[in-house]
């Protein structure tokens, strides 16, 4: 085939469009494998730390907002749908649909980052950060370390549980009958634990309830490890989301110029593969970090 027989989008070192498409697709898959290896190392670190320090994960995940995490999961799943729809639109030369789908995908990506910004801001304000930046303290001076909102509520519950347990022990030592009023914890915005097999038994002694509540909110010695893992994994994933936005924006601009159609849509397809990997990684991160229990 002569040089003049080559379509403009086929590079000179390829014989035809099919060979170029297959080569590009193979190169993208090899790149995605290296990305998977990066996150696989982090997942291994997660397994090791959680195996040896399960208490820090059960404690730390209480500071994460499961509703925001679930919303972000829904947003990314929606973005995968719009991205796949965009690839199909490019294959069918549906330029208007392609632009709409790419635009919606970017909107979902920005929505994801916006929610992560809210979550990160809360962590910074409360001091539940990584490494030596972790300053959250469950003591009488907790309020000085940014204890407010959910964390302050947890702190008050833990203190109340400890006080209730102490009252009960003192009453038993003095032969005093313990009343329900003396064991009553302050009202909370959290729903009470269910009775029966899934929670406290209705006939469980009051001191057992206090001990359970105290144990739940007791800060382990290495609590900062959970937040270090949280910020490393979600932060690296966030960087990939930003890279994805840049790539999709470039594709969007070129699509607006009519660069892609049924005969040439390789860049759209490759960016779509990358974006699906970004979504897949988050699907693993959400339960591992937010749904520890």
Lowest mean pLDDT among 3-7, 58-62, 182-186: 182-186
Q: What is the pLDDT confidence band of residue 214, given thresholds at 50, 70 and 90?
A: very low
* pLDDT, position 6: 59
Q: Is residue 209 part of a domain?
A: yes
| Res 260 pLDDT > 70 | yes
Is pLDDT at 13 greater than 80 in this prediction? no
Residue scoring higher pLDDT (20 or 84): 84
Which of 181, 216, 251 is a domain's end point?
A: 216
- Write down the pTM of the prediction: 0.69
What number of other Cβ atoms are within 10 A of residue 63's Cβ? 19
Residue that finishes a domain, picked among 168, 191, 216: 216
Would the pLDDT of 28 be above 80? yes
Half-sphere exposure for 104 (CA within 13 Å, toward CB): 18
Same domain? For 207 and 232 the reply is no
Mean model confidence pLDDT for the chain: 76
Q: Would you say residue 209 has pLDDT above 90?
A: no
Domain that holds residue 239: 27-136+221-290
Q: What is the pLDDT of residue 150?
A: 47
Q: Residue 226 has what pLDDT?
A: 85
HSE at residue 203, side-chain half, CA atoms within 13 A, is 0
Count of domains for the chain: 2
Tokens representing residue 170 in the block: 């003192």
- Which tops the pLDDT comparison, 33 or 197? 33
The answer to whether residue 4 is domain-embedded is no
pLDDT of residue 198: 45
Same domain, 124 and 232: yes
Please indicate, yes or no, if residue 92 is contained in any of the structural domains.
yes
d(CA 267, CA 259): 10
Residue 281 clears pLDDT 70, i.e. is over it: yes
Q: What is the pLDDT of residues 138-151, one digit of tens each?
A: 543 344 344 334 44
Residues 44 and 102 in one domain: yes
264: which strand partners? 261
Write the CATH number for 55: 1.20.120.80
Own/partner contacts of 168-177, CB < 8 Å, gap of 24 or more, are 168/206, 168/207, 168/210, 169/207
Better-scored residue on pLDDT, 186 or 122 = 122
Q: Given this model, what pLDDT does residue 266 score?
A: 87
Same domain, 71 and 184: no
* Average confidence (pLDDT) over 194-199: 47
In a domain, 6, yes or no: no
């Amino acid at each position: 085939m002569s040089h003049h027989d080559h379509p403009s989008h086929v590079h000179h070192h390829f014989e035809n469009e099919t060979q170029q498409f297959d080569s590009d697709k193979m190169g993208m898959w090899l790149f995605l494998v290296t990305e998977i290896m990066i996150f696989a190392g982090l997942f291994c670190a997660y397994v090791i730390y959680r195996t040896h320090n399960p208490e820090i994960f059960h404690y730390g995940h209480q500071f994460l907002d499961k509703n925001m995490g679930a919303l972000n999961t829904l947003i990314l799943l929606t973005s995968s749908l719009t991205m796949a729809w965009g690839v199909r639109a490019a294959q069918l030369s549906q330029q208007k649909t392609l632009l709409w789908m790419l635009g919606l995908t970017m909107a979902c990506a920005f929505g994801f980052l916006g929610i992560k910004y809210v979550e990160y801001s809360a962590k910074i304000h409360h001091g539940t950060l990584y490494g030596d930046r972790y300053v959250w303290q469950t003591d009488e001076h907790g309020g000085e370390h940014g204890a407010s909102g959910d964390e302050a509520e947890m702190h008050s519950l833990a203190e109340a549980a400890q006080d209730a347990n102490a009252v009960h022990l003192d009453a038993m030592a003095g032969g005093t009958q313990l009343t329900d009023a003396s064991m009553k914890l302050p009202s909370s915005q959290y729903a009470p634990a269910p009775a029966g097999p899934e929670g406290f038994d209705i006939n469980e002694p009051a001191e057992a309830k206090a001990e359970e509540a105290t144990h739940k909110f007791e800060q382990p010695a290495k609590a900062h490890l959970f937040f270090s893992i949280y910020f490393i994994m979600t932060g690296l994933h966030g960087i990939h989301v930003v890279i994805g936005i840049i790539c999709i924006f470039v594709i969007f601009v070129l699509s607006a110029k009519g660069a892609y159609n049924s005969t040439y849509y390789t860049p759209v397809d490759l960016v779509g593969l990358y974006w699906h990997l970004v979504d897949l990684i988050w699907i693993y991160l959400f339960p591992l970090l937010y749904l520890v229990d």
